[in-house]
Structure 1
Amino acid sequence: MRERALGVVLLALGGTISVPGQARGARLSGAEITAAVPGLAELGVPLEVRDVHAVPGGSLTFAQVLDVVADASRAVAEGADGVVVTQGTDTLEETAFLADLVWPHDAPFVLTGAMRQPAMAGADGPANVLAAVRVAAAREARGAGALVVLNDEVHAARWVRKTHSTNPAAFASPSAGPLGHVVEGRVRMLLTPPRHEPLPADVDRERLETARVALHVVTLDDDGARLDGLEATHRGLVVAGFGVGHVPDVLAPRLGALAAHLPVVLTSRTGSGSVLRHTYEAPGSETDLRRRGLIDGGFLDPYKARVLLRLLLATGAGRDGIAEAFALRG
């Protein structure tokens, strides 16, 4: 029998949303963050605030994110209708996707943050928290997995990208657009993202630590020299290729040799769109690279592909299982 609903549980990490000013090391608690949100108390949504992992977004680890997901899962088991996580925006697109891959509940898992510190003119944190709590409590958002809510937009973790270094409207979903919006306090979900069976969340931490995945961004006149010996130090590689998934012809044999020893996933460095499978035939093309054993990353951008590959390796997936997972989720 389900226990009494807690409403929404907010898990506060670090990041810009928690930086009060110029004082070195200062950080706002979750209670202080929520106390500064106009209209939050009038929502009629019970809110329980818990502080976890007081670190900037850029210092978060896979293990810490999985710990947060476990905390959120326990909150739902205790009766919470939804969970909000506040964190730094530097890695928000990656942490959201990691959470989405393992989140097993219908209850919304909502991540938010801020682009401007609380003391700055036009600070966006309070509005983002208010919108995130609305979404976490909304029946319309149930079953959508992990969501990113900023600037009154609701984005699927699968698609969202940080597209600007400073703009409050930095987050977008270039390949799909937002799933919904918060309008006059009402959550309007326009699209429903596809959901897949969640991957195991109880990953062995030692295996997670050793499941190192490299990311190589292909550049002009790239001969891949810095990839030498990678198979001895890493268990996987994500390649961010040109355009639809191309690399210089001289680089193709190096990638093929690596693919014989570890999973190598091909993605695009462009920021939106899919790599192709069989349109071009030249050396270094997507067709050539697939023949050499590279795995098609589909629509997944390089950062999210790295998250998926590392999680798969940590859960013991072999090459065939990895290829199947990318075919399903890419």
Structure 2
Amino acid sequence: MTPKNLLLIHTGGTISMKANEETGAVDQDGKNPIASLNEFPGIDAVFSVKEPFQIPSPHMTVNEMMTIKELIDQTEAEGVVITHGTDTMEETAYFLDLTLTKRIPVVFTGAMRSSNETGSDGPSNLISAVKTAMSEEAHDKGVLVVMNDAIHSARYVTKANCGTLAAFQSPDTGPIGVVLNNTVHFFHTPMPSDTFDIKNVNLTIPVLTAYAGMDTFLFNQLSSCDGLVIEALGQGNLPPAAAQAVIELIQSGLPVLITSRCVSGIVQPTYSYEGGGRTLQEAGALFSGGLNGQKARLKLLAALSAGRKEDLPAIFP
């Protein structure tokens, strides 16, 4: 059997860091210990390695995401594995899910423990990600995230716990597969995502989280924004003062996308009381379906970047 050609893209994160033995603080030291792992026992593949940058994932912006996208657009590899910090991994993965047109497997992985900590999960996660990228069944499943032997769709996965090895979950759907005993098993194929031919990613789209008694203060700062995502209460509801501010922003021409601050579920325009979701929809607010706030922001950004403002009602039905 001919070895598969895989592209490894290392971008930084805990998987590339070390813990200071004296203080316990975790940081980069100028070296990436995971970069030396380009041969894996029992894996018949040829690897090319790119390190466009080494940054903690809280430093990730859409510009770095575009750099990763361009590397994938240019590659002739049969699959791609990306090591990435876990804090914003779901966002970069979903951004690529929205913007890549290649149908080769693209798999993200990272680590919850740094390379020299006891029980470091980086090497095992990387091996599972490589095996997933080599699987014929991984084609046409969108961008994937592999952590702790679970295979998740970029569309549904989120970092649900800030510290444990089982940090990544897909609350509404569960994982779409697992890696067990060196074998990749898929349970189902996610619905295909919308894709966007983006041109300008330098848009300002903040995410605000609603809370009891929310007033107009934060909304008064948004006159120069290109769009707004609100993590609303419940199925998509707001306090009265906040709702009135949102309606005024919509009337000014600002696209406003409603999601929920709840961990799971689908926002729906159900309630018609003042500030209720139906009232907001009638005023022109859009609803994100089951996307969380950070992913709703990226989809709105991608749609606006692609010049599809007029299509927003169809993109967010």
| TM bin (shorter chain) | over 0.9
Matching residue's letter, 1:19: M
> How does the TM-score come out when normalised to structure 2?
0.93
1-side partners of 2:159 and 2:16: how far apart?
A: 19
Name the SS for the 1:324 alignment partner: helix
Matching residue's letter, 1:213: I
Q: 1:321 aligns with which of 308, 311, 314?
A: 311
- Matched with 1:216 is 208
2-side partners of 1:19 and 1:251: how far apart?
A: 42
1:258 aligns with 2:239: no
2-side partners of 1:174 and 1:25: how far apart?
A: 32
Per-residue CA deviation, residues 209-254 of structure 1 (Å, 9 max, x unaligned), is 2x110111001111132211412x2010001111111111222111
**Are 1:88 and 1:113, in contact at CA under 8 Å, matched by a contact in 2?**
yes
Matching residue's letter, 1:162: K
Distance 1:24 1:180, change over 3 A: closer
The within-5 A match list for 1:60-139 is 60-75=60-75, 78=76, 80-139=77-136
Per-residue CA deviation, residues 137-185 of structure 1 (Å, 9 max, x unaligned), is 1001111111000000100000000001111110000011101000111
**Are 1:155 and 1:180, in contact at CA under 8 Å, matched by a contact in 2?**
yes
Structure 2 unaligned segments of length 5 or more: list them: 21-25
Matching residue's letter, 2:234: G
Q: 2:7 aligns with which of 2, 6, 9?
A: 9
The within-5 A match list for 1:99-248 is 99-201=96-198, 203-204=199-200, 208-209=201-202, 211-231=203-223, 233-248=224-239
Distance 1:128 1:44, change over 3 A: same
Q: What percentage of aligned pairs have identical amino acids?
A: 32
Q: Which runs of 4+ in 1 moved over 3 A?
A: 34-37
1:35 Cα offset (Å): 3.8
Q: CA RMSD in A?
A: 1.8
Structure 1 unaligned segments of length 5 or more: list them: none
Distance 1:289 1:324, change over 3 A: same
Distance 1:227 1:197, change over 3 A: closer
- Matched with 2:34 is 33
**Are 2:6 and 2:47, in contact at CA under 8 Å, matched by a contact in 1?**
yes
1-side partners of 2:220 and 2:130: how far apart?
A: 48
1:5 Cα offset (Å): 7.2
1-side partners of 2:63 and 2:97: how far apart?
A: 15
Distance 1:239 1:194, change over 3 A: same
2-side partners of 1:223 and 1:215: how far apart?
A: 16
The within-5 A match list for 1:238-317 is 238-260=229-251, 261-277=253-269, 279-317=270-308
